Amino acid sequence: MSQSLDLAPVNALDQSGFTHAFGSVFEHFPLAAERAWAQRPFASASALHDAMMDVIRKLDAKAQCDFLNLHPMLSAANIRAGTMTADSNAEQKSAGLDAMSAQQEAALDRMNAAYHARHGFPFIICVRHYTREGIFAALERRIDRSTQQELDEALAQIGAITRGRLQARLGTLA
């Protein structure tokens, strides 16, 4: 993340304005922004992101699982239905998940169901960093890992997802 961004306008926001500006960075979880606001002033975009991630990391295991369950399954049907946030929709489209064959869609749905049944939360991956084939390979590889490994991995992936989302929002404020 750019360290040279002038964060004075961000640091000057009141809690309501800050939450409005950054509350959607974390999928359906504006509390990350709301609680991070108290850590102002932020010296860098990375410090802002770290403060928001710390809110997630400090949740207990059940609350982290509940947070992860706010995230949508990777799914062409979700893209078509328009039920996801604009960020999730654009991210999933960027990986070509809106252009799968019926067989690929069915395979993804089966793997998603198996993953969720095993771990109790959806498969989460920063799709911007993967091809469609890479997503399928990662999902297949990660299904059989321990739930603790997957919780750790899901939080790391959320870190990557939200870093990009935050940078986009900061760019509009600069």
pLDDT along the chain (174 residues), means of 10: 72 97 96 98 96 97 96 94 94 95 97 98 97 97 97 97 95 62
Residues 102 and 61 in one domain: no
CATH classification of the domain holding 35 = 1.10.3330.10
Report yes or no on 18 lying in a domain.
yes
Q: Measure the N-to-C terminal CA separation of the chain; round to a whole number of Å.
A: 14
Give the total number of structural domains in the chain: 2
Length of the chain: 174
Q: What is the pLDDT of residue 173?
A: 59
The torsion of the CA quartet 124, 128, 130, 131, rounded to 10 degrees, works out to: 120
Residues belonging to the active site: 71
Q: What is the pLDDT of residue 4?
A: 54
